Structure 1
């Protein structure tokens, strides 16, 4: 059962603010990659697409002398920590099942190694899907965060992905059942 859709997430003002800051076109592309990967690996497509859409909402922009400083970002970034917290809070506010919100937040937390201490980490399948989906859309120097998309096209793509997830799950939203 889906408690919250991607569209529910996308239209929320908090999501709008942080998705646009971190790159809306990138977030949507990663959500589509996560959908495909989730189907291929037998992972919950609903959780994977939500985690992928929200994976970068913790980004802080690193500037030096008025210009984006990719090296400073790579050395000091902890966006996954802040993003996991923001996503969890947002999803709970929207009515997501608490366990789902936790799993999504953990996938966001572990989607990158950039802030983790050296060592070997074993990710759960959902966490791996979000990491792989993000990597599939990366561009050198962080340029993937600066691709643009209109709000109308973004909404259309999110709605289409919601339909794909609904069809795959063969389930209705909680609101449709009550």
Structure 2
């Protein structure tokens, strides 16, 4: 049984604050990609969708003269570090299993290597799924962070994804009980 749902996360005021900054549509789309990729890669879809939904909650807005400065962002950003910290604290406060909260936070931390020195990371499967899901929704120049969606539709999409995750677990439990 899931301790924290995507709907609970999405409706939390902290998540709303930071997703509105980093892109609600991108977060939801990335969570949908993560669900599909998790099934393909044998990864827990509950953890994958939560990490994908929250992967950009560490964003800071980088502006120069009132305009988004993508170059400044790329040069100075550490959103994955801040996002992992925020997500972990929030998940623990909401009652998520501490081991799961840590796995989700680590996937957020490692969803991008933009803040790391050059080199190859050896990602665990959950971390790889979240990174691939993020890449699947990216647009040049960070435009994926600016697509718009009204709150009601966003909530509906999140509830739908919750149903998919629940159905996945219901089907898995049926297989194991037969």
Q: Deviations over 1:5-29 (max 9, x none)?
A: 0001011111111111110000000
Question: 1:175 aligns to what?
Answer: none
Question: 2:55 aligns to what?
Answer: 55
Alpha-carbon separation, structure 1, partners of 2:130 and 2:86: 17
The offset of 1:142, in angstroms, is: 0.3
Structure 1 length normalisation: TM-score?
A: 0.95
Alpha-carbon separation, structure 2, partners of 1:10 and 1:67: 27
Question: 2:156 aligns to what?
Answer: 156
Moved more, 43-52 or 110-119: 110-119
Alpha-carbon separation, structure 2, partners of 1:106 and 1:143: 25
Q: List structure 1 runs of 4+ shifted beyond 4 angstroms.
A: none
Q: Is 2:40 the partner of 1:30?
A: no
Question: 1:15 aligns to what?
Answer: 15
Q: How big is the alpha-carbon RMSD for the aligned residues of Structure 1 and Structure 2?
A: 0.8
Question: 1:66 aligns to what?
Answer: 66
Unaligned runs of 5+ in 1: 172-178
Equivalent position SS for 1:135: helix
Structure 2 length normalisation: TM-score?
A: 0.95
Alpha-carbon separation, structure 1, partners of 2:76 and 2:153: 33
Alpha-carbon separation, structure 2, partners of 1:73 and 1:129: 24
Alpha-carbon separation, structure 2, partners of 1:71 and 1:45: 34
1:1-178 superposed matches below 5 A: 1-170=1-170
The offset of 1:119, in angstroms, is: 1.7
How many correspondences in the alignment?
A: 171
The offset of 1:164, in angstroms, is: 0.2
The offset of 1:81, in angstroms, is: 0.2
Alpha-carbon separation, structure 1, partners of 2:142 and 2:120: 25
Alpha-carbon separation, structure 2, partners of 1:59 and 1:69: 13
Q: Deviations over 1:84-127 (max 9, x none)?
A: 00000110111000000000000000000100111221000000
Q: Deviations over 1:54-75 (max 9, x none)?
A: 0000000101111110011011
Unaligned runs of 5+ in 2: 172-178
